[in-house]
Chain A
Amino acid sequence: MRKNKKGAEKIISVYWFAILFIVAGAIVYMVSSFYGKPYDVREIEVGLLADKAADCVSYAGYLREGILNRGFMEKPLENCDLNFETEDTSGWKEERQYFLKMDFSDFSSGKVIFSTEEGNGNLVNFCELEGKNLPSCLERELYILDKEGKSYTIKITSIVRKTEKNV
Chain B
Amino acid sequence: MFKLKQNKKGQMGETITWVVATIIIVLVLAVSIFISSFSAEKFKRIQEPYFQTADILASKSMFSYMLTKGNDDKIIYEQLKNQENLNDFNGNLAVKIFHGLYQKDYLNNPNNIWLGIVVNTRENANGKPCASDPQFCILLSLENNFFGERSVGSMNTELGYHTIPYTSEKIKLDENKSLELMLIGK
In contact, B57 and A22 (Cβ under 8 angstroms):
no
A34-B36 CB under 8 A given contacts A142-B101, A143-B101: yes
A44-B47 CB under 8 A given contacts A140-B57, A142-B57: yes
**In angstroms, how far is the closest chain B Cβ from the Cβ of A64?**
12
Pick from A40, A47, A61, A151: contact of B60, CB under 8 Å: A61
| Chain B contact residues, CB within 8 Å of chain A | 3, 7, 11, 14, 18, 22, 25-26, 29, 32-33, 36-37, 39-41, 44-48, 56-57, 60-61, 63-69, 97, 101-102, 105
A26-B46 CB under 8 A given contacts A37-B41, A60-B63: no
**In angstroms, how far is the closest chain A Cβ from the Cβ of B41?**
7
A145-B46 CB under 8 A given contacts A51-B56, A153-B101: no
Q: CB-CB < 8 A to A40: which residues of B? A: 44-46
A26-B61 CB under 8 A given contacts A8-B14, A43-B45, A149-B69: no
A44-B57 CB under 8 A given contacts A23-B25, A61-B64: no
Task: For the complex, give the distance between the alpha carbons of A18 and B102 in Å.
Answer: 58
Task: For the complex, give the distance between the alpha carbons of A58 and B58 in Å.
Answer: 12
- For the complex of A and B, 9 pairs with smallest distance between CB atoms: A61-B63, A143-B61, A30-B36, A141-B101, A26-B29, A61-B64, A34-B40, A51-B56, A61-B67
Q: CB-CB < 8 A to B60: which residues of A? A: 54, 58, 61, 142, 144
Q: CB-CB < 8 A to B102: which residues of A? A: 141
**In angstroms, how far is the closest chain A Cβ from the Cβ of B69?**
5
Pick from B32, B37, B48: contact of A43, CB under 8 Å: B48
Q: CB-CB < 8 A to B66: which residues of A? A: 61
Nearest residue in B to A41 (C-beta to C-beta)?
A: B46
A43-B47 CB under 8 A given contacts A33-B37, A34-B40, A37-B40: yes
Q: Does A109 contact B (CB under 8 A)?
A: no
In contact, A43 and B57 (Cβ under 8 angstroms):
no
Nearest residue in A to B11 (C-beta to C-beta)?
A: A8
Pick from B33, B41, B64: contact of A145, CB under 8 Å: B64
In contact, B33 and A39 (Cβ under 8 angstroms):
no
**In angstroms, how far is the closest chain A Cβ from the Cβ of B176?**
24
In contact, B64 and A151 (Cβ under 8 angstroms):
yes
Q: List 8 A-B contacts (CB under 8 A).
A: A22-B25, A33-B33, A34-B40, A41-B46, A43-B47, A47-B48, A61-B60, A62-B64
**In angstroms, how far is the closest chain A Cβ from the Cβ of B160?**
27
In contact, A38 and B44 (Cβ under 8 angstroms):
yes
In contact, A30 and B32 (Cβ under 8 angstroms):
yes
